């Protein structure tokens, strides 16, 4: 049976809907993407036909409605057509997933009721009913891919492609070791949603310093989490565990070790990190108002990166490592728009493929003199933008700046060394940019593209397009209300 044109099958065997936008619609809304692709989450042709045909009709209705509309609203707020389509698409996917979950729950309920009628009272008292109700599929229990072999294949590939730094490999292997113990010998292709839910429950109960505290030596993880009054992992560390497993499952799925990414979407909301790590307006003013930035009493920063790195991250949300490894040639111009080409040559510092992208340069950075500084580096025939930095063997070019910035925050009064609740560091600029843009009502997808987060197949940007939209609708929205007057029209770099 041939597939209809709106249905496609990926190389991994999963079907997805492919909806092409009509030229009539595209002429009216030029910034909309030309095609929408939505995973149907199944490798069965009949199920894909049924789900795909239904979803295709729903898309038709959406676009038909949009053609007749002049004003688009979502939850009472006016939005552009791109955001309206993206949110409606997410809604359709969520409804489909919810319906599937309800059907599975109804089936499970029917199964359990049937067991109640089959078993005798003596069998129920013996606990046999509970065993049968919790019994997983025997095909899943057996599996054919041992966890350790999957992990080793994953590690070997990352080593051969030099995708990890030495520091990263050590921390990732520690996460994999904990996961392996929790799975307790289960084959990798026997791991499903139930196992991953159990894994997340245990991660939420894990204590800090698991490998250092003498109380935990010679104890299994299941025993450790029973100890009362433990100092638990932060949400940031929990997400590191959960995110690492999601990345591994994506890799395993591509290599045939599993059929789905059962770890996707397990991360927790890191409220403690997002709230405490965000710089306030007062913090930002203190950061740019030191003697070094004002250049009074002949005080100046010892390195150019000390001056520019905080300012660049303040207006891009870029990671310190991404900023410090910039080359002079990574400051580019296209159609009158200047932009940073972060990781343009594929250097290992990129955290994800999404981190390799172009981010427009904020007008304030240009006013302060960034382009003049770039010119000065070109005149000196420097390759790196910050040529006075020394590369650390493990932490790259950003090591010196990171160490200096922690001391600098204490010096300017942003960080109190006596209060451990204040965990603000250089990475806090990233949280600050994201939080600031969210408060401005900027679309989440556009924020993700700017800061280099991975996005799903519904993202309506590619990394080589949308530069003007990013400049006008994302970077251009950044305005902290901070006074930069003492930095504007700086002639130091001329």
pLDDT in tens, 444-454: 888 888 886 44
pTM of the model: 0.51
Query: For 272-477, which CATH class?
Result: mainly alpha
Which residues have a Cβ under 8 Å from the Cβ of 455 and sit 6 or more positions away? 354, 445, 448, 449, 461
Query: Mean per-residue pLDDT for 5-26?
Result: 80
Res 300: pLDDT: 79
**Residue 103 zone, left/alpha/beta (φ > 0; ψ -120 to 50; rest):** alpha
CATH 1.10.443.10 in the chain, residue ranges: 272-477
Spatial contact of 343 and 355, defined as CB atoms under 8 Å apart: yes
Sequential DSSP letters for 272-295: HHHHHTSPPHHHHHHHTSSHHHHT
Share of the chain above pLDDT 70, in %: 78
**Secondary structure (3-state) at 419:** coil
Res 458: pLDDT: 32
Res 464: pLDDT: 40
* Structure tokens, 385: 């933008």
Q: How far apart are CA 233 and CA 305, in angstroms?
A: 33
pLDDT confidence bin for 315, thresholds 50/70/90: very high
List the single range of 1-15, 170-184, 256-270, 278-292 with lowest mean pLDDT.
Answer: 1-15
Residue 353 has pLDDT above 50, yes or no: no
Res 100: pLDDT: 60
pLDDT confidence bin for 33, thresholds 50/70/90: confident
pLDDT confidence bin for 273, thresholds 50/70/90: very low
**pLDDT tens, position by position, 358-385:** 899 999 999 999 999 999 999 999 999 9
Query: Mean per-residue pLDDT for 2-12?
Result: 79
Query: Mean per-residue pLDDT for 121-147?
Result: 57
**Secondary structure (3-state) at 196:** helix
pLDDT confidence bin for 422, thresholds 50/70/90: low
Residue 482 has pLDDT above 80, yes or no: yes
Kindly state the helix (H) or strand (E) to which residue 374 belongs, with its residue range. helix 370-379
**Secondary structure (3-state) at 437:** helix
Spatial contact of 349 and 343, defined as CB atoms under 8 Å apart: yes
Place of tokens 């493990």: 394
Spatial contact of 331 and 371, defined as CB atoms under 8 Å apart: yes
What does residue 295 show for φ and ψ, rounded to 5 degrees? 60, 40
**Angle (CA) 263 267 270, round 5°:** 170
* Structure tokens, 293: 């930035």
How many Cβ atoms from other residues are within 10 Å of residue 353's Cβ?
Answer: 12
């Amino acid at each position: 049976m041939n597939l209809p044109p709106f249905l496609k099958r990926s190389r991994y065997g999963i079907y997805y809907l492919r909806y092409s936008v009509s030229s009539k619609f595209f002429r009216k809304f030029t910034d909309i993407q030309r095609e929408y692709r939505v995973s149907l989450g199944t490798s069965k042709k009949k199920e894909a036909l049924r789900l795909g045909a239904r979803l295709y009709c729903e898309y038709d209705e959406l676009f038909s409605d949009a053609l007749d509309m002049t004003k688009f609203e979502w939850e009472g707020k006016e939005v552009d057509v791109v955001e309206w389509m993206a949110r409606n698409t997410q809604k359709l996917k969520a409804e489909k997933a919810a319906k599937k979950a309800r059907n599975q729950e109804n089936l499970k309920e029917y199964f359990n009721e049937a067991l109640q009628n089959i078993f005798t009272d003596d069998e129920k008292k013996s606990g046999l009913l509970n065993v049968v109700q919790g019994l997983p599929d025997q095909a899943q229990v057996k599996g054919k891919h041992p966890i350790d072999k999957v992990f080793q294949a994953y590690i070997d590939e990352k080593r051969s492609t030099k995708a990890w730094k030495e520091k990263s490999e050590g921390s990732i292997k520690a996460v994999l070791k904990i996961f392996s113990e929790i799975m307790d010998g289960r084959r990798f292709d026997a791991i499903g949603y139930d196992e991953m839910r159990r894994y997340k429950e245990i991660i939420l109960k894990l204590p800090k310093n698991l490998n250092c505290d003498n109380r935990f030596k010679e104890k299994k993880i299941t025993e450790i989490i029973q100890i009362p009054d433990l100092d638990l992992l932060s949400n940031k560390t929990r997400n590191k565990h959960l995110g690492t497993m999601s990345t591994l499952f994506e890799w395993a799925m591509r290599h045939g070790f599993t059929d789905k990414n059962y770890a996707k979407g397990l991360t927790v909301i890191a409220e403690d990190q997002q709230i405490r790590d965000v710089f306030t307006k007062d913090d930002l003013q203190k950061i740019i108002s030191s003697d070094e930035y004002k250049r009074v009493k002949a005080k100046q920063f010892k390195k150019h990166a000390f001056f520019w790195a905080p300012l660049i991250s303040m207006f891009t949300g870029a990671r310190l490592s991404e900023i410090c490894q910039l080359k002079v040639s990574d400051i580019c111009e296209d159609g009158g728009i200047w932009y940073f080409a972060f990781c343009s040559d594929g250097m290992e510092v990129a955290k994800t493929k999404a981190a390799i992208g172009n981010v427009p340069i904020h007008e304030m950075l240009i006013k302060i003199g960034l382009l003049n500084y770039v010119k000065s580096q070109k005149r000196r025939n420097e390759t790196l933008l910050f040529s006075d930095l020394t590369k650390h063997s493990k932490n790259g070019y950003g090591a010196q700046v990171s160490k200096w910035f922690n001391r600098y925050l204490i010096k300017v009064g942003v960080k109190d060394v006596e209060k451990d609740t204040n965990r603000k560091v250089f990475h806090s600029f990233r949280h600050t940019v994201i939080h600031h843009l969210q408060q401005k009502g900027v679309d989440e997808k556009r924020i993700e593209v700017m800061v280099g987060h991975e996005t799903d197949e519904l993202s309506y940007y590619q990394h080589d397009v949308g530069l003007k939209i990013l400049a006008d609708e994302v970077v251009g929205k950044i305005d902290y209300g901070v006074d930069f007057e003492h930095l504007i029209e700086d002639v130091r770099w001329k």
